[in-house]
A and B are shown apart, each in its own frame.
Chain A
Amino acid sequence: MRIGIDVGGTNTDAVLLDGRQVLASIKTSTTEDVTSGIVAAINGLQQQRAFDPAAVQAVMIGTTHFINALVEAHRLAPTAAVRLSLPAGASLPPMVDWPQRLVDAVSGRSYLVHGGHEFDGRHIAELDESELRKAAEDMGANGVRSVAITSVFSPVNAEFEARAAEIIAAQLPDVAISLSHEIGRIGLLERENATVINAALRELAAHIVDGLAASVSGAGITAPLYLSQNDGTLMDVDFARRYPVATFASGPTNSMRGAAVLSGLDTCAVVDVGGTTSDVGVLRQGFPREATTDVSVAGIRTNFRMPDVLSIGIGGGSRVRGGAGDVTVGPDSVGYELTSKALVFGGDTLTATDLAVAAGRAEIGDPSLVAHLDRDLVRAALDRVAADVSDVVERMRTSAEPLPVVAVGGGSVLLPDELADAGKVHRPENYAVANAIGAAIAQIGGEVDRVYAIEPGRREAVVEEAKQEAVDRAIAAGASPASVGIVDFDEVPIPYLPGNATRIRVKAVGDLQLGA
């Protein structure tokens, strides 16, 4: 048995699974301190279906807590950005393009030091260790508690980042250190930004992870705890302490993964209709397609891996305005006030949920309260919703191949059974808790993303080496060796570079080794 919990901004959803069978599922309200919401969710499962806590083999939690902390600039640690790049890069120092509010929130300090590599592994300059020691001294004097280290072309060669970490740790043993090559990809500013954000969240991560562990063990569960990551795989709690940014997009990712399992489709578009927005993503071989462009988080450009998700302002709480001829749905929503404002709950606001009830697509609240609605208006508004969602699905396709559509989330009752271009809409059972199911069934992954200079005749060997490394990483992270397979492989020659420079990305994924 395993438990999956998805902590969203509004709801905390939980499921108890045996294999892939849902034994119990519950929706509770997210609490300010997160942990009491989790305790409530586990209790709720227990009430629905009594289980022996000792029989639970793993607990998986997806949480939006860390991204919210960044957006709200809340509880961020005093952070220093160390960049190994001189004599390059001085014109654009760390955090150059950040909103000032967030620079202040992390008490951001920057240090530029000689070092870094060229694209082909040569040194731009030797690492200047005395500069680093001086920087560390200054950090100590200024109360820095977390450090982000970024070296030019560290995705090609990480030796300088590792050495700089040793030097700083020797002088400041209590600070947390984050290294950029473990977090982002080529694109210095974006990778550095992601690393500084990670560094600023390290203290909060330690605190939250302890809280999650305490609430799970408080329920008598001794099984290991995992957190779900942006890419749909799991990390253990130690990893979560070190890489809180890896949780940023786990919400949409978990919904998509859950949709795949529930529908049995591993290549599809997933429409997750919530209270305020509909998020559309694409699954390939059961994993979310990643965004290929930089992703802006709280106004900061970053390049860590995030699922490619398009959102539109249509959800169960969307306000409906106008008449049959000029109806609009959203983008504003009554949000968590749905149960007091929507007509079906005796409120005075026409919402998308009222439309679904009036059209007989859902039984929510009191249907008699919407019986008076103009049929043409209801039809026109629902057609509008279908057309807009269909448009977004269409935009997410990357080829003319047909792509089945799976609808999940509490608001998916808004969608018709057929979408114009996409055809039939799949609606799996338990669609409302797809996110918690996605967390519960997540697997363990390992990844390699590096630029290789491929010598003539060596391509096969280099590719094999990269694949083996990804597999080894998955196993080291806790995957059962027999189940590990390569799920993604991408080889891109880099134009304008000599020496057959090729960026290779491999992802290996396997099932979590349970009860070892």
Chain B
Amino acid sequence: MREITIDHLDDIARGAAILGTGGGGDPYIGRLLASSAVRDHGPVALVPLGEVGDDAVVLPVAMMGAPTVMVEKLPSAEQVGLAARTLATYLGKELTHIACAEAGGVNSLIPVVAAAQLGLPLVDADGMGRAFPELQMVLPTLYGIRATPMSIADEKGNRGVLDTVDNHWAERLARSATIDMGCSAMISNYAMSGAQARESLVPGTLSLCAELGSAVRQARAEHGDPVARVVERLGGRKLFTGKVVDVARRTVTGFARGEAKLSGMDGDAGSEMVLKFQNEHLVAERDGVPQASVPDLICCLDRESGEAVTTEGLRYGQRVTVIAAPADPRWHTPEGIDLAGPRYFGYDIDPVGVPA
């Protein structure tokens, strides 16, 4: 895929929801914004990671704030572009490429909006190969690429640049600014050169989202098995098919944490699976034994339609199939595990990987 047109957006959103492993929220507004930006400015050129030149100036863009606010105070395409332009100006560099920080929900589509609005190519890659809940959980962190300077912009035209001593301060100051800006802001951070991007990003993410989305759509149209198509494309495996029998949630410091209990059906009848999540699914246990954990992907899909079920959307009675798929191998290095392994999230287990 070398270009993103309006026709690709539904597939990308559907695929990103799968890679989002339960997080990222409803991409509806992101999809509308992207389709209006592409309608106004034309299709977005998608550049394979390997073709990005050494001296390219690559800026990831994302939304920061409360999804509840974003569905009420709608962001504008200009606001997304402004975040990227502001950071480029601070860096004193001519911006050449837009990038995607995470695959999942609205943030898989915000970069499409920025690229269309600014008339720039989008790098076919992302910073995680999936979604994670915290700002520092990107592979560029493993390569010593700093989150700041980072820019932040609101819909009124206010913008700011934070150049902080560490990522902790970046998160803290950006959070305060976001609240004053009305809790829905666009940010650009992890500015990098083309060489750094080639080294640190996960290649092919947006194409993968589009492929997953179209595989699910087609399998459904052909009355095939959408879940099997996803498993096949991700090189993963089916963990469990069951019915959601209990969901316990609590909000801890702004994150939705919780557990979902599934009672087995079909070949899994008689067994139970517990999914533990913090926005995203973190650990999947079958009858008390972990079957998969972060950093690998644990995706919960509707058993029949193959659509991803978000952790917010989990409800009693849903019939789902849980699948696991391998994360980018760099997440399995000791540094990667420190950053986003089960212990970081408070589960005292070694990571359980999906056998390749």
Question: Could you tell me which A residues sit within 8 Å of B by CB distance?
Answer: 85, 87-92, 96-97, 116, 118-119, 122, 124-125, 152-153, 186-189, 301, 394-400, 493-498
Contacts and interface: CB of A to CB of B under 8 A. Distances in A.
B316 interface: yes
10 contacts: A85-B74, A89-B76, A91-B77, A92-B33, A116-B73, A124-B73, A152-B73, A398-B316, A496-B68, A497-B183
Given A397-B317, A398-B316, A494 B76 contact: no
A498 B245 CA distance: 32
B142 interface: no
B34 to A, nearest CB: 10
Contact of B182 (A91, A118, A301, A396): A118
A116 B318 CA distance: 38
Contact of B251 (A187, A495, A498): A495
Given A122-B182, A124-B182, A88 B73 contact: yes
Nearest to B255: A495
Interface of B: 28-29, 32-33, 36-37, 65-69, 71-78, 155-157, 179, 182-183, 245-246, 251, 254-256, 315-318
The 6 closest A-B pairs by CB, nearest first: A496-B66, A118-B182, A88-B155, A89-B74, A91-B76, A91-B77
Given A92-B36, A96-B36, A122-B182, A495 B73 contact: no
Contacts of A96: 32, 36
Nearest to A116: B73
A496 B72 contact: no
A89 B37 CA distance: 13
A496 B254 contact: yes
A187 B246 CA distance: 28
B24 to A, nearest CB: 14
A153 B73 contact: yes
A361 B78 CA distance: 65
A497 B69 contact: yes
A188 B66 contact: no
Contacts of B66: 119, 494-497
Contacts of A400: 245-246, 316
A91 B286 CA distance: 46
A400 B316 CA distance: 8
Given A97-B32, A397-B316, A496 B73 contact: no
A498 B176 CA distance: 10
Given A118-B73, A124-B155, A125-B156, 7 more contacts: A87-B76, A91-B74, A119-B69, A398-B316, A494-B68, A495-B66, A497-B66
B32 A92 contact: yes
Query: A118, A187, A395 — which one has the most chain B CB atoms within 10 A of its CB?
Result: A118
Query: A91, A152, A301 — which one has the most chain B CB atoms within 10 A of its CB?
Result: A91
Contacts, number: 103
Contacts of B76: 87-91
A124 B317 contact: no
Contacts of A301: 28
B57 to A, nearest CB: 25
B9 to A, nearest CB: 12
A397 B315 CA distance: 9
Contacts of B254: 495-496
A92 B183 contact: no
B75 A88 contact: yes
A152 B156 CA distance: 14
Contacts of B65: 496
B32 A152 contact: no
A394 B265 CA distance: 14
A395 B317 contact: yes
B72 A91 contact: no
A470 B157 CA distance: 40
Contact of B36 (A91, A119, A122): A91
A498 B37 contact: no
Contacts of A498: 179, 183
A186 B67 contact: no
A502 to B, nearest CB: 11
Query: A87, A97, A119, A301 — which one has the most chain B CB atoms within 10 A of its CB?
Result: A119
Given A91-B75, A188-B74, A496 B183 contact: yes
Contacts of A394: 317
A493 B182 CA distance: 17
A378 B72 CA distance: 53
A90 B48 CA distance: 32
Nearest to B37: A91
Contacts of A153: 72-73
B77 A188 contact: no
A371 B256 CA distance: 60
B251 A92 contact: no
Contacts of A125: 156
Contacts of A118: 73, 182-183
Contacts of B33: 91-92
Query: B32, B74, B156 — which one has the most chain A CB atoms within 10 A of its CB?
Result: B74
B78 A119 contact: no
Contacts of A188: 71-74
B313 to A, nearest CB: 8
A377 to B, nearest CB: 25
A90 B37 CA distance: 12
B143 to A, nearest CB: 29
Nearest to A152: B73
Contacts of B36: 91-92, 96
A470 B246 CA distance: 32
A453 to B, nearest CB: 12
Contacts of A90: 76
Nearest to B182: A118
A374 B329 CA distance: 61
A186 B73 contact: no
A186 B155 contact: no
A97 B29 CA distance: 11
A106 B104 CA distance: 36
A111 to B, nearest CB: 16
Contacts of B318: 395
B317 A398 contact: yes
Contacts of A395: 317-318
Contacts of B183: 118-119, 496-498
A91 B78 contact: yes
Contacts of A116: 73
B70 to A, nearest CB: 10
A487 B254 CA distance: 30
Contacts of A496: 65-69, 183, 254
Contact of A92 (B74, B157, B315): B74
Nearest to A393: B317
A443 B255 CA distance: 40
Contacts of B74: 85, 88-89, 91-92, 188-189
A38 B68 CA distance: 44
Contact of A493 (B69, B245, B251, B255): B251
A94 to B, nearest CB: 11
A413 to B, nearest CB: 27
Nearest to A395: B317
A497 B246 CA distance: 27
Contacts of A494: 66, 68
Query: B68, B245, B251 — which one has the most chain A CB atoms within 10 A of its CB?
Result: B68
Contacts of A89: 73-74, 76, 155
Contacts of B75: 88, 91
A395 B317 CA distance: 5
A119 B245 contact: no
A308 B72 CA distance: 23
A124 B75 CA distance: 13
